[in-house]
Amino acid sequence: MRVAVVGATGLVGSTMLQILEERQFPVTELIPVASERSAGTKVKFMGKEYEVVNADTAISMKPAVAIFSAGGSISLELAPKFAAIGCYVIDNSSAWRMDPAKKLVVPEVNGNVLTKEDLIIANPNCSTIQMVMVLKPLYDHYGIKRVVVSTYQSVTGTGQKAVKELMDQRAGGDGLGVYPHRIDLNVLPHIDVFQDNGYTKEEMKMVLETNKIMGDDSIKVTATTVRVPVMGGHSESVNIELNKDFDENDVREYLSNMPGVVVVDNPKNNAYPMPLDAAGRDEVFVGRIRRDYSQPNTLNCWIVADNLRKGAATNAVQIAKYLHNQGWI
């Protein structure tokens, strides 16, 4: 099976290569794709070196599946070209997420919506992915009326330049460039661009994507997304209003039984999810599960995941694995 990774030299792209290898995805030939500037460089995969090629060369090699992490404009331009040769495209940008003709997929939550004809498949936003993994079992057992989420998102979600900017500032520099304000020893309530309604694009992604993935526009979602000086892993404080009452122990059991979710919830022993513990892991971690006494049928929880893995690369590879298991690739 020929597998193309578009954006193979970036943070998410390199993580995709790592996860394809870890999960022993049946790659017979890797096709690493990047910009003309990076063409000719080498990447390592499964003990071999592969030369990075441009998109036209990759298309001529007729991959079975292409996993994209190269930005929205590139996805809009190139995904249809790959799909035109019968290649499945799994896109990590926001380009196709809200296209009504394209599926937005977290395999454990709604993988069953995929069909053989879905040649361009959207990978959701990192912070949405980890949240819906927790919402799914609660929705199935109780129904969900409203979600209020505040995020604490790592600089790795912005990319390699943001990581360098944080470390330069930590070493004593004061240079800006990636963020409008200093990120070290600070938090920025500003991820992506502000919209006319006062919310950022990242916040509106969480609203709209959650409804699409859950298949229920009646779920009310409001979000505040914040960048924090953390090197890897996104955290979320989530308040969930259910349609009916619940028992906290039942909630923990339902979440524990959700594939890909790990409950870490023993405050007496200081056990709760943290980005340091989620680093390099594919699971979504949830803890601080407790009743909200300010209104009926509502609970609070704390959700953490490695944003480069389950929040991006792992989820994309899982979609590819689903396509393979169906016999479509």
Domains of the chain as residue ranges with CATH: 2-124+312-325 (3.40.50.720), 127-307 (3.30.360.10)
Look up residue 232 and give its two tokens: 């890897």
Coil, strand or helix at 127: helix
CB contact set of 305 (below 8 Å; sequence gap of 6+): 126, 129, 130, 133, 233, 234, 278, 281, 283, 284, 285, 311
Per-residue model confidence as pLDDT tens for the chain (329 residues): 999 999 999 889 999 999 999 999 999 999 999 987 878 899 999 999 999 999 999 999 999 999 999 889 999 999 999 999 999 999 999 999 999 999 999 999 999 999 999 999 999 999 999 999 999 999 999 999 999 999 999 999 999 999 999 999 999 998 899 999 999 999 999 999 999 999 999 999 999 999 999 999 999 999 999 999 999 999 999 999 999 999 999 999 999 999 999 999 999 999 999 999 999 999 999 999 999 999 999 999 999 999 999 999 999 999 999 999 999 99
pLDDT for residue 169: 97
Look up residue 95 and give its two tokens: 């380009």
Instruction: Write out the catalytic residue numbers.
Output: 126, 234
pLDDT for residue 38: 79
Coil, strand or helix at 121: strand
Rounded to whole angstroms, the Cα distance separating 208 from 121 reads 16
Sign of CA pseudo-dihedral 291, 295, 296, 298: negative
> Tokens 């950022």 correspond to what residue?
200
pLDDT for residue 39: 80
pLDDT for residue 279: 95
pLDDT for residue 36: 79
Size of the chain, expressed as the number of residues it contains: 329
pLDDT for residue 236: 98
Rounded to whole angstroms, the Cα distance separating 209 from 262 reads 23
